[in-house]
Amino acid sequence: MTAALDTLPPEILFKILSFTSPFNPYFGPNRPLYSLAATNRHLHDVVEEYARGLLKKHANIESPNPPTRAFVRRVKWMKWLSTTCWICHRTSRRKAILDPSMTCCDKCDRKTFPKMTMTEAITKHGLSKLDLFTPCILHPNLPPLNTGVYMCMGGYTIMISESDVFARKAYVDSLMGSKAQDMALRRRRVARHDRIAKHMDIEYRNGGWRKAWNFPAHSDANLKTKSLQTQESRDKYVREGLRKEWAEMGINKFAVVDGRGHGEKSKGVSAEEPIELD
């Protein structure tokens, strides 16, 4: 017979509670700690003891023992998460750019989580939006980078983890080989990728690639660029453009995730495998 939750020893319950996102202050009244504490007296006491440990370890706050009505440990913990910088423990309601669930003052955010703007990653490091915001049509198997947005001069600025940018640049450099040091070539490569995205009628916003809706459903002979005039011409441009980019990067069907591949034919190839195009 399976044991009920409230019959488990506190050590196991504490382990279970660690999987209920105790560091996420955005659950509102349906926070797992709140819901579990409302189940019965025993689980209420277990949650309060767990919250006491969190307050002591992370906030250095000693709670009264026994607890009082005026000091509810789980409520105090959630309030601390929302109103205190998790790093320096100073009062703050500012959220970390790369992790909006984390309260972090501006000074600690800059020092602890180095980041750069999307524009800097493109212009200074020669990476295109298709390189940075993955998975995408060019790099379907690459994981996403750690990104965030913040308001600057009335508009949204996309920020990217500095270490992620450096790692992605090293990866792209390994595909480009000796050409990676030619910034003029890299700028032309970025422009080609922008044209591919334009012909796909997509743009990066709100944390993902979205339909841009720049072209009508029917053909438009008034468009100056011939390859943009019809859906068929746009699709053809994208297919040919992607095949050229994949060929230049050495991506082929022998590539695997670790970048080493299998067999003699895979030596020096990319860590990706291109998607099939119709």
pLDDT tens digits along 6-65: 778 888 888 888 887 787 766 666 778 888 888 888 888 888 888 888 888 888 888 777
Three-state DSSP at 16 gives helix
Q: Do residue 128 and residue 201 come from a single domain? A: yes
In a domain, 238, yes or no: yes
The dihedral over CA atoms of 171, 176, 179, 185, expressed in degrees to the nearest 10, equals -90
- Of 156-165, 206-215, 227-236, give the range with the top mean pLDDT: 156-165
Q: Do residue 23 and residue 160 come from a single domain? A: no
For helices 231-249 and 162-176, angle between their N-to-C axes, nearest 10 degrees: 80
pLDDT tens digits along 51-78: 888 888 888 888 777 666 668 888 888 8
Residue range 204-216: mean pLDDT, rounded: 86
Q: Is the pTM of this model over 0.95?
A: no
pLDDT at 97 over 60: yes
pLDDT confidence bin for 3, thresholds 50/70/90: low
| The token pair that represents 217 in the structure block | 């459903």
In a domain, 95, yes or no: no
Residue range 103-121: mean pLDDT, rounded: 95
CB 127 within 8 A of CB 164: no
Q: Do residue 34 and residue 123 come from a single domain? A: no
Strand partners, 147: 160
For helices 41-54 and 73-83, angle between their N-to-C axes, nearest 10 degrees: 40
Q: Do residue 252 and residue 169 come from a single domain? A: yes
Measured at the alpha carbon of residue 183, what is the angle toward residues 179 and 187, in degrees to the nearest 5? 105
In a domain, 191, yes or no: yes
Give me the amino acid identity at 268.
Answer: G
Domain hosting 121: range is 114-266
Which of 83, 102, 127 is at the close of a domain?
83
Shortest CA distance to 50 belongs to which of 87, 77, 85? 77
Measured at the alpha carbon of residue 173, what is the angle toward residues 110 and 273, in degrees to the nearest 5? 105
CA–chain centroid gap for 167, Å, is: 14
